[in-house]
Amino acid sequence: QVSDFLKKFGIATVAVNEDTPNCPVLWSVRAVLCFLLAPARILRQAIFEGRIPHLIVQPEQFTLNHGHLPKLARLLRDSKFVSRIARVAVDECHNIRNVGSSVNGRKPFRPAYGALPQLRIRLGKTTAWTFLSATVPDYIYNHIHQSLAIGPSPTIIRVSTNRPNLIYATHSLVGGRGNMHNLDLIVPKDFHPPMRLPKLVIFHGNKAETAIARQHINSLLPEALQNIGIVRHYHADMSREYLEDAYSSFADPDGTALILNATAGAGEGLDVEGINGVIIYGIASDIPTKSQWDGRAGRSTNAEAFCVQMVEPWVHEIDSSQLPIDPNDPDHPLSDAALTKKNPTKQERTGRASARHATSPECARVLQAEYYEDNSPEALHYTGRWCCDSSVHTGNMFALERFFLGPVHTEQPAPLPEKRKRTSYRPTKERPELEELLIEWRTEMHSRLTLRAIRPPTFILDSTAIKKLTMARASSITSAASITELLKQSSEWEYMWAEKLFNLISGYKPTVDKESEEDEPQPKRSRR
């Protein structure tokens, strides 16, 4: 952005971000653009005196950051500096509500956006404020208007939210998000130069998934094209050097990077021309987020681009016609549990409007226009081969294969082998008493045998059989036949002994030895 302001408009600009307060060298590096390696003190003085007319600033630079007050925030204590601030433009102002405020039980992800009202008070009435966003439905506008105490008659400029060159589609994730074969459609099986892959951004719900997806898509390429940077992943925990390299390669029309697996942060900061399409891997939590992600495709061009949202199987179980939508909070979570649970599931926290848009048979543009209350003549206009994949478009020949060279995955993943059930046994404390009863019973039965002189007691029950009977859980001994089956005995043995054994075992009632209970070691109590 700094480069754009300098090259396109000739405006001296400095970017102030999270690195700037704690790294004086970076202040001077930023100053190269205007002051040719000026030292940090000169840069600060230039900012203070207003000789740098334009600052691009993260909102965190106006509030406490990791317990420290950034340099820019300290400058705001000086009335002379404050008097030089003529205008403030808040880009992506929907973040004031969506990530700067507590919404539906969710803590603010970037509370500095929610602190902008304090900045407005500090700057005073003489500073003009402008709020900019492509995704401000009425309920978000009302929140901004109220929280920043905007006057009763602000100047409002509204243009259509419609991007006529975008084609919208919803596709079901076969087997869920964990089945990366859903992304096989990106790379054809016989891929080889001069074939060219589409330039794509794939949005994921977490950082780990970006790495897994990158690895999978990379493995689909011919060996000679693997690990050379065609497929990248991109999230905030990566080094600045890597992020800058990945971004520059992806932004360069002749760069190596063609497929970028990114998290939500790239949904607003990625302004790259020539992106052929966007894949949202898993349903978006709310409509403004989806719109921001979709908006990365087909920028600064009239060429058609596609936006495919791949949704989890549970999404299709939702009856969108039965979803009550509150106009003051259309992205209220599907489940009220998301308002109170510490870690709600994605299914619980997904917004109702988002679920409705993903499951409704209606035209995607109609749904979008209704959400943003876009009544402009161009709201439903489209210039691509299709508007969307909705069946309401008569004769719609839309198919994902028109955009991708690889196969669309339809095969369900093989079911995981069932876990072997752990055998359940009789409690250990009950076994010695039962063993004693069995040995006594065996002795008595042996004494009644006519041929006891040549048939030992083990003829009736050997030690292995006694062990099996004492270990078997009582609920598994349901009949004489169950004992025969457990001991793998003959029908003759069953006829002679099984019924007697069953009566003995089923009638056994463990006695509770209070004295032994008292002797059992008690769990140690931790000392305070």
Summarize pLDDT for 339-381 with one digit per residue, the tens: 888 889 999 999 999 999 999 999 999 999 999 999 999 999 9
* Token code pair at residue 24: 């004086």
Cβ atoms of 285 and 354 closer than 8 Å: yes
| Choice among 234-248, 346-360, 401-415, 514-528 with the minimum mean pLDDT | 514-528
Q: Which of 252, 244, 207, 215 is nearest to 232 (CA)?
A: 215
* Token code pair at residue 459: 């003829």
Q: Which residues contact 9 (CB under 8 A, 6 or more apart)?
A: none
pLDDT of residue 271: 84
Q: How far apart are the first and last CA of the chain?
A: 57
Would you place residue 32 in the very low, low, confident or very high pLDDT band (cuts 50, 70, 90)? Answer: very low
DSSP string for residues in 174-207: TT-TT-GGGGGGGS-TT--TT--PPPEEEE-SSH
Cβ atoms of 206 and 301 closer than 8 Å: no
Residue 182 has pLDDT above 50, yes or no: yes
The number of helix segments (H) and strand segments (E) in the chain equals: 23, 10
Three-class DSSP category at 287: helix
pLDDT of residue 38: 40
Q: Hey, what domains does the chain have and what are their CATH numbers?
A: 2-147 (3.40.50.300), 428-506 (no CATH)
Residue 178 has pLDDT above 50, yes or no: yes
Q: Which of 95, 173, 108, 137 is nearest to 325 (CA)?
A: 137
State the virtual CA torsion across 178, 184, 189, 192 in degrees, nearest 10.
-120
pLDDT of residue 267: 66
Residue 474 has pLDDT above 80, yes or no: yes
Comparison of pLDDT for 151 and 46, the residue scoring more: 151
**Mean pLDDT, to the nearest integer, of 199-219?**
95
Residue 8 has pLDDT above 60, yes or no: yes
Would you place residue 228 in the very low, low, confident or very high pLDDT band (cuts 50, 70, 90)? Answer: very high
Backbone φ and ψ of 434, nearest 5°: -65, -40
* Token code pair at residue 158: 């509204």
Cβ atoms of 317 and 359 closer than 8 Å: no
Residue 19 has pLDDT above 90, yes or no: no
pLDDT of residue 21: 41
DSSP string for residues in 229-273: SSEEEE-TTS-HHHHHHHHHHHHSTT-S--EEEE-TTHHHH---T
pLDDT of residue 31: 34
CA-to-CA distance for 303 and 298, rounded, in angstroms?
A: 7
Three-class DSSP category at 465: helix
pLDDT of residue 34: 35
Over residues 97-118, the pLDDT tens digits come to 988 988 887 888 889 999 999 9
* Token code pair at residue 218: 């990379």
pLDDT of residue 190: 87
Given the DSSP bridges, would you call strands 259-262 and 231-234 parallel, antiparallel or unpaired? parallel
- Locate tokens 């400058």: which residue? 75
pLDDT of residue 117: 92
CA-to-CA distance for 139 and 144, rounded, in angstroms?
A: 9
Task: Name the CA radius of gyration of the chain, rounded.
Answer: 35
| Choice among 88-102, 462-476, 505-519 with the minimum mean pLDDT | 505-519
Distances (CA, A) of 253 to 300, 366, 497: 13, 33, 86
CB count in 10 Å sphere of residue 204: 24
Would you place residue 74 in the very low, low, confident or very high pLDDT band (cuts 50, 70, 90)? Answer: confident
pLDDT of residue 46: 61
* Token code pair at residue 384: 């691509």
pLDDT of residue 41: 56
pLDDT of residue 294: 95
Would you place residue 23 in the very low, low, confident or very high pLDDT band (cuts 50, 70, 90)? Answer: very low
* Residues forming a β-bridge with 186: none
Long-range pairs of 503-506 with CB within 8 A, sequence gap ≥ 24: 504/437, 504/438, 504/441, 505/434, 505/469, 505/474, 505/477, 506/474, 506/477
CA-to-CA distance for 460 and 458, rounded, in angstroms?
A: 5
pLDDT of residue 29: 33
Residues counted in the chain: 528
Q: What order do you get walking across the sheet with 231-234 strand by strand? A: 166-172, 305-311, 277-281, 200-203, 259-262, 231-234
* Residues forming a β-bridge with 233: 261
Three-class DSSP category at 472: strand
Q: Which residues contact 124 (CB under 8 A, 6 or more apart)?
A: 82
- Ranked by mean pLDDT, the top range of 145-154, 196-205, 317-326, 441-450 is 196-205
| Choice among 175-179, 262-266, 473-477 with the minimum mean pLDDT | 262-266
* Residues forming a β-bridge with 65: 68
Comparison of pLDDT for 375 and 12, the residue scoring more: 375
* Residues forming a β-bridge with 308: 169, 279
Would you place residue 69 in the very low, low, confident or very high pLDDT band (cuts 50, 70, 90)? Answer: confident
Comparison of pLDDT for 323 and 222, the residue scoring more: 222
On the CB side of 358, CA atoms within 13 Å amount to 31
Over residues 384-408, the pLDDT tens digits come to 999 999 989 988 788 888 888 888 8
The answer to whether the bond into 194 is cis (omega within 30° of 0) is yes
CA-to-CA distance for 176 and 397, rounded, in angstroms?
A: 26
CA-to-CA distance for 359 and 283, rounded, in angstroms?
A: 11
Residue 20 has pLDDT above 70, yes or no: no
Residue 22 has pLDDT above 80, yes or no: no
Averaged confidence pLDDT in the chain: 85
CA-to-CA distance for 282 and 57, rounded, in angstroms?
A: 32
Q: Which of 262, 280, 282 is nearest to 350 (CA)?
A: 282
Q: Which of 478, 474, 524, 514 is nearest to 498 (CA)?
A: 478
CA-to-CA distance for 404 and 221, rounded, in angstroms?
A: 14
